[in-house]
Amino acid sequence: MTHQSSRRAFITKSALAGALGFSALSGFGKGLETALQRTPLLSAPSDLKITDIKCGYIRNGHSLFVKILTNQNVWGCGEGVDATPGTYHLVKMFGERLKGKSPLNVNRLFEDIRKSGFFEGAQSGMYVAVLSAVESALWDLAGKALGLPVYQLLGGKFRDRIRVYCDTALYRAESPPPEKFAESAMEAVKMGFNAVKFDIDEAKDPNKYDAYNWTASPAELQRMFDQISAVRKAVGPKIDICVDMHGKYDAVTGQQVAKRFESLNLLWLEEPIPAENVEAYKNITESTTTPICAGENHYLAYGFRRMLEIGAVDIVMPDLQKAGGLGEGQRIANLANLYYVPFAPHMVASYLGAMASCHVCASVPNFLILEWQIYFHTDPMFKEIVTFDGPMVKDGFITLSEKPGIGVEINEEGMRKYATKGVPFFE
């Protein structure tokens, strides 16, 4: 295998350099000799350098895949989502800043690119989403080079399996009745999931006041309650239910929905209002016993500081393919842990992004649950664009990969037919 032969090449070089260094220093005393014997000879494989970065886009540019190449034919793959359309030249700019550098200094390279972009939008949005893909690819590359899974590079693992909830994607149907919600929930439970998620924001609800009014009408509120009440009745009390409002409503509606849903014992109510005003979130959170969850549209650990500091939410859900990557995801989780707040990442990526997220989820104590999409089972694209071992998910859990790096590879040929038109594809 290319990765193995390439890794063997730099192991041989590093071992030879270590042996020469040991020989030269062996006369300095037994203590130094013992210390050197305990030091890994591969701690600084300095001849591994980044040579290029290539990328491909699918889903009209909303899914970005990057591949970081090196002088030893070891590569790393990463993924960014949502805030990625039109970012091809941003990827290439980051590549120029990485060329000639060691990919093993992941945190340093992340900080170099972030700090170099203070006046280019490095606080959030497209800049951070692309940086998330690049950073994830660096972790994958480092893991492959050192022969270790990413979770080990992040400090080890607390768990071997990652619990996921099934986003049923019922939002693709127009105005589904409560019975359809119940049916969809039961289908997920029969597949082995013990947690499900439904969206209750419907842009075409005929009971809306108008297209721009963020206040839900009484009829809309009743429709929402009836839909999720049907889910609870169908699955019983032991299945977790998550409800997403996609930030489409105002604070009054957020409070009303949270209060009405208290009897349904939700795992959480997600983004009842837009992301920007965390003080408004605090008002909703304090008004209800329904747990409030947010973070999908926040960036970097800085974006979570204030909401945690004031107790604005009960659960944080950063998207690790968007919020800054795997190291930043771990920093967000550790920050949340200081406030005893659970960490439940949002995830709308491919299986590469799902497994990358799993490494972070395994590495922190306060992990709650990870998002999983029903389209992994229904859309063949998601099996064609990656290669991996074993089943994707079993009985509502993803088994953490023990392979070097992330443990999932992109399949460029499988992805090619889904490539976004008009954008260079891994060139």
Percent of the chain beyond pLDDT 90? 86
DSSP 61: G
Whole-prediction pTM value?
Answer: 0.89
Integer angstrom CA distances of residue 322 from 41, 146, 301, 389, 390: 36, 26, 12, 25, 27
Distance of alpha carbon 197 from alpha carbon 389, whole angstroms = 27
Q: Which of 427, 123, 74 is nearest to 301 (CA)?
A: 123
Average pLDDT over residues 69-75: 95
**Rounded to 5 degrees, what are φ and ψ at 333?**
-60, -45
Integer angstrom CA distances of residue 413 from 164, 385, 416, 418: 29, 8, 5, 10
Q: What pLDDT score was predicted for residue 175?
A: 80
| Coil, strand or helix at 343 | strand
Q: Which of 194, 183, 274 is nearest to 231 (CA)?
A: 183
DSSP codes of every residue in 9-55: HHHHHHHHHHHHHHHHHGGG-HHHHHHHHHS-TTS--TT--EEEEEE
Q: What pLDDT score was predicted for residue 28?
A: 38
pLDDT in tens, 18-57: 443 433 333 334 543 444 344 444 444 668 999 999 999 9
How, if at all, do strands 240-244 and 268-270 pair? parallel
Q: Which of 202, 146, 150 is nearest to 173 (CA)?
A: 202
The residue with tokens 């959480």 is 268
- Cβ–Cβ < 8 Å for 319, 82: yes
Percent of the chain beyond pLDDT 70? 89
- Cβ–Cβ < 8 Å for 362, 162: yes
Q: Which of 76, 136, 160 is nearest to 357 (CA)?
A: 136
Asked whether residue 209 carries a pLDDT value surpassing 50, the answer given is: yes
| Coil, strand or helix at 208 | coil
- Cβ–Cβ < 8 Å for 49, 73: no
Altogether, the residues listed in the chain come to a count of 427
The terminus-to-terminus CA distance of the chain in angstroms comes to 23
- Cβ–Cβ < 8 Å for 104, 142: yes
DSSP 319: B
Distance of alpha carbon 209 from alpha carbon 132, whole angstroms = 39
Q: What pLDDT score was predicted for residue 187?
A: 96
Greater model confidence, 305 or 26: 305
pLDDT in tens, 330-350: 999 999 999 999 999 999 999
Q: Which two tokens stand for residue 393?
A: 């998910």
Q: What pLDDT score was predicted for residue 40?
A: 44
